[in-house]
A and B are shown apart, each in its own frame.
Chain A
Amino acid sequence: MMKVIKQAGGALFLACMLQGCMTVASISVSQIPVAAARKHKISASASNVTVLLIPFGSSFPERARGDLLSQCQGGKIEGLLSKHQVTDYFLGLFFVNEVVMEGYCLHNQAKG
């Protein structure tokens, strides 16, 4: 019986270590366009990893924005939701910083 409990405890501990606990660090929403303009939804995300408190780059928001811009060339982007989230692994020894951006690409209807 004790062996089973120990094994279950070990499995639970491993599961806790391996799974990523996610927290939202910051969030923002910009002006949302009218319903008729919300046809072309775009999204982009980028992340960087921090291992043992050593971060590997902090340019991930720019990469996310660059990705978003490439999806809406010749148009403007409105209704932007930007979410910065952190996922911890192995009791926080490793964590992933990720930014997710979602918005609507509006193309100039008047000029086609």
Chain B
Amino acid sequence: MVIMKSFVGPLIVLSLLFSTMNACTYTAAVSQTNIPIQRNKPVEATVHKFIFLGFNFDNDEVYQLVEKLKTQCPDGQVRGILTQDMRTMYLLFFFWARDTVAKGYCVSSKAVATNDADFNVDTEQSPARAEIDYKESTLKLQSEADGVVK
């Protein structure tokens, strides 16, 4: 235990020194949306906010992300968006910088429509088809049950 104490003290002091001298970036949150096939046009937007002594009264800067992404992809849709919310701490956490990064892919609207239609051929089930399938399976189950009773 004594050895432990003799190590932990200097280590904490060292870490505080490093924290003072360096800006350490920590990830606070990550999210990812559906990723498209067309990944040839990546787009990226970043917003930055400086916070002093933790005083922060709004988070409105994140709305700029959407606007920035939209301007980079005026004729298409932005899909496959990876967002990463990060905090950079300076001078023993007295000063913070908050960075939110959004990275995605600009996909032309035509490509989206074509692609979705292609995928829907085999994967999407129409409501009418679902109803028919449901009725068929119900009838099958009923006939099996009748057979068991007989």
Q: A52-B11, A62-B82, A62-B103 are in contact. Are A26 and B122 (CB under 8 A)?
A: no
Determine if B37 and A74 form an interchain contact, defined as CB atoms under 8 angstroms apart: yes
Determine if B82 and A77 form an interchain contact, defined as CB atoms under 8 angstroms apart: no
| Interfacial chain B residues near A84, Cβ < 8 Å | 27, 29-30
Question: How many residues from B make CB contacts under 8 Å with A?
Answer: 38
Question: What residue of chain A has the Cβ atom nearest to residue B14's Cβ?
Answer: A52
Q: How large is the interface on A (under 10, 10 to 19, 20 to 34, 35 or more residues)?
A: 35 or more
**B40: interface (CB < 8 Å):** no
Determine if B15 and A52 form an interchain contact, defined as CB atoms under 8 angstroms apart: yes
Q: A28-B32, A30-B34 are in contact. Are A54 and B26 (CB under 8 A)?
A: no
Determine if B35 and A69 form an interchain contact, defined as CB atoms under 8 angstroms apart: yes
Give the docked Cα–Cα distance between A99 and B86 (Å): 14
Give the docked Cα–Cα distance between A28 and B31 (Å): 6
**B6: interface (CB < 8 Å):** no
Determine if B31 and A34 form an interchain contact, defined as CB atoms under 8 angstroms apart: no
B interface with A by C-beta (< 8 Å): 8, 11-12, 14-15, 18-19, 22, 24-37, 39, 80, 82, 84-86, 103, 115, 117-119, 121-125
In the assembled complex, 30 residue pairs joining A and B whose CB atoms fall closer than 8 Å, in A order, are A25-B28, A30-B33, A31-B34, A34-B124, A36-B123, A36-B125, A37-B119, A50-B24, A52-B18, A53-B18, A54-B15, A54-B24, A55-B26, A61-B27, A61-B30, A61-B32, A65-B32, A75-B37, A76-B37, A78-B34, A79-B34, A80-B33, A82-B31, A84-B30, A93-B8, A97-B26, A109-B121, A109-B122, A110-B117, A110-B121
Having A58-B25, A103-B35, one finds 16 other A-B pairs with CB under 8 Å, namely A25-B29, A26-B28, A30-B32, A33-B123, A34-B125, A37-B123, A60-B27, A61-B27, A61-B84, A69-B35, A74-B37, A78-B34, A82-B32, A106-B119, A108-B37, A111-B118
